[in-house]
Amino acid sequence: MSVYACPASLADALALVAQGPVRVLAGGTDIYPGAGADLSGDVLDLTAIAELTQISHNAVGLRIGAAVRWAQIAQATGLPPALCALQEAARKVGGRQIQNAGTLGGNLCNASPAADGVPPLLVLGAEVELASARGTRRMALGDFLTGPRRVALEGGEIMTAVLLPEAELQGASAFEKLGARTHLVISIAMVAARIEVAQGKIAQAAIAVGSCSGVAQRLAVVEASLIGAVISEVNDRVRAADVAAALSPIDDVRATSSYRLEAATELVRRAVSRAAESAT
């Protein structure tokens, strides 16, 4: 007989997950569509653990609990403008029902190449916090995502939080997503850009593109080429060849690889321009 557990404390959850294989459940919006007819096995539901469902900010940085839902992120007030991209992504994930159930941690642990949460966090230098009965560790999000649908979670571990260092919460960010329609659609390409402006010129740029490689990528060459630009120069500075060199899109039912590259370049230009305007 399968067991369903919904503990209120992290310690109880870690004790349960240490006992052996269990299906870790948050919003269930990836698990259940993917499970098909196979819903067997024990389930550990994380959503009653208060510390996993909160957003907090102190001098060290911002902490987003792994079971924080998209709707919470979308509706949160008082977050730094550097989080605008994450909040815009939250409003574009699925539709209202998905945003009310789906969590940030579930999006990251599912590790889809099209996960809308990843680019906005990569431009914030995000780390993930992983806990088990053995202790707690943290690692860069880019290291946690080891490939399409692959993450660096070890046996008995759950993700407890996403950590955003204070030093990266500077400037303003923007998110651009292209799909066949605006909502309830998997991204053909999506881009997050975080820009800092000083004396009218771009002083720092962080750009990440998703759905155009196995794991979303930062565009280091494009970022460097933007330093010192004014907003009217952004389109010229974002060169299609530099965007393409960092990505490896596939052809699939949603788009060809060449269309994805063309779209990604345009989305980068739009996201950078919008973030720079907000940061000015």
CB 70 within 8 A of CB 90: yes
240 is an interface residue for ligand FAD by CB under 6 A: no
Residue 26 or 215 having the CB closest to ligand FAD: 26
Among 5, 48, 100, 110, binds ligand FAD (CB under 6 A): 110
What residues between 162 and 221 interact with ligand FAD by CB under 6 A?
184
Lookup: tokens for 271: 């996201």
E strand residue ranges, 133-259 = 135-140, 145-147, 150-151, 158-165, 172-178, 189-198, 201-210, 217-218
25 touches ligand FAD by CB under 6 A: yes
- Rule CB under 6 A: say whether 18 interacts with ligand FAD: no
Contact stretch for ligand FAD (CB under 6 A) within 3-11, 20-28, 167-175, 239-247: 20-28
Should residue 115 be labelled a site residue for ligand FAD when binding is judged by CB under 6 A?
yes
Q: Rounded CA gap, 116 and 198, in Å?
A: 29
Q: How far is the CB of 241 from ligand FAD (least distance, A)?
A: 28
Stretch of residues binding ligand FAD (CB under 6 A), selected from 5-13, 97-105, 140-148, 266-274: 97-105
Element (H, E) at 260: helix 257-279
Contacts of 67 (CB under 8 A, 6+ apart): 26, 46, 47, 49, 52, 53, 103, 105, 106
How far, in Å, CA of 201 to CA of 204, rounded? 9
Joined tokens for residue 113 = 């190449």
Q: How many CA atoms lie within 13 A of 200 on its CB side?
A: 3
Between 108 and 197, CB nearer to ligand FAD:
108
Select from 28-36, 77-85, 193-201, 248-256 the region that touches ligand FAD (CB under 6 A). 28-36
Contact mark string toward ligand FAD, 62..91, x via CB under 6 A: ----x-------------------------
Closest CA to 223 of 204, 201, 210: 204
Query: Closest-CB residue for ligand FAD?
Result: 106
Contacts with ligand FAD, residue ranges (CB under 6 A): 23-31, 33, 46, 66, 93-94, 98, 101-103, 105-107, 109-110, 115-116, 153, 158-159, 184
